[in-house]
A and B are shown apart, each in its own frame.
Chain A
Amino acid sequence: DAKTTQPPSMDCAEGRAANLPCNHSTISGNEYVYWYRQIHSQGPQYIIHGLKNNETNEMASLIITEDRKSSTLILPHATLRDTAVYYCIVRVEGGSEKLVFGKGTKLTVNP
């Protein structure tokens, strides 16, 4: 079973920041938080991951709480092309461990 909990759906206005929450209260010390997204039946796309520090790349920012029990993925300026299902996954980095997908959050970016 997935070790994360996400809201089933969210809406965001185009151009505004999209903040997607994720709860992972049972995360282990060596597990990272990964975010993927899946745009309408395409293969999932890696977005970002982190252990305990906040991370930022060209796609998004990841904010992890100090106790590591929850995190937020931030898309700073959402576009219509960001409409997708976003998956939050916890996983040990390296070792070729499988990804366990939960149901994710369906983000709809509205014009």
Chain B
Amino acid sequence: SAVISQKPSRDICQRGTSLTIQCQVDSQVTMMFWYRQQPGQSLTLIATANQGSEATYESGFVIDKFPISRPNLTFSTLTVSNMSPEDSSIYLCSVDRQGSGWETQYFGPGTRLLVL
């Protein structure tokens, strides 16, 4: 398995401001993923972050709104920019981890964001 931590665990922000969420993994990984889970909904992938290259964004998500950094193989940040109440969600990072000959994704605990 993988040990993944996220900071902050929760925050309440004012509209128009930005919040940077940190994701730290206990060992080096190639790919990190950022998901959003809006209230009462399932998870939706925002982007995939590969160390040393630009993040790849899913349809409906743009870099200006959700800039991502991936400075090394154990760390990534997601910024939610110019926030509005519609950005109130849980934001989760995940990583792929090899184990016993197979690979699966492990998730962090999430960051609960409320935008007023």
Taking A43-B92, A99-B45 as contacts, is the C-beta distance between A93 and B103 under 8 angstroms? yes
Residues of A within 8 A of B42 (CB): 87, 101-104
A34 to B103 alpha-carbon distance, docked (Å): 11
Give the residue name and chain of the A residue nearest to B33 (CB): A98
Q: Which of B4, B90, B105, B112 contacts A99 (CB 8 A)?
A: B105
> A103: nearest residue on chain B (CB-CB)?
B42
Q: Are A43 and B45 in contact (CB under 8 A)?
A: no
Q: Give the secondary structure class of A's interface.
A: loop
- Of A9-17, A44-52, A70-78, the segment with at least 4 beta carbons within 8 Å of chain B is A44-52
Tell whether A42 is near chain B: CB-to-CB under 8 Å.
yes
Q: Interface digits, A9-51 against B, CB 8 Å rule (1 contact, 0 not)?
A: 0000000000000000000000000100000011111100100
User: Which B-chain residue is minimally distant from A46 (CB atoms)?
Assistant: B104
Q: Are A41 and B90 in contact (CB under 8 A)?
A: yes
Complex Cα gap A98–B58 (Å): 10
Inter-chain contacts of A87 with B (CB < 8 A):
42
Q: How far is the CA of A96 from the CA of B112 in the complex (A)?
A: 25
Asked if B45 contacts A42 (CB within 8 A), the reply is no
Closest Cβ of chain A to B101, distance in Å, is 10
- Give the residue name and chain of the A residue nearest to B41 (CB): A103
Given A98-B33, A101-B44: A44 and B107 interface contact (C-beta under 8 Å):
yes
Query: Min CB distance, B12 to chain A, in Å?
Result: 16
Give me 12 other A-B pairs in contact (C-beta within 8 A), A45-B107, A94-B103 excluded.
Answer: A43-B109, A44-B43, A44-B92, A46-B104, A46-B106, A96-B30, A96-B103, A98-B33, A99-B43, A99-B45, A99-B94, A102-B42
Query: Could you name 21 residue pairs across A and B whose Cβ atoms are closer than 8 Å?
Result: A43-B4, A43-B92, A43-B108, A43-B109, A43-B110, A44-B92, A46-B1, A46-B104, A49-B102, A49-B104, A93-B102, A96-B31, A98-B33, A98-B48, A98-B58, A99-B33, A99-B45, A99-B105, A100-B45, A101-B44, A103-B42
Task: Give B contacts to A, CB under 8 Å.
Answer: 1, 4, 30-31, 33, 42-45, 48, 58, 90, 92, 94, 96, 102-110, 112
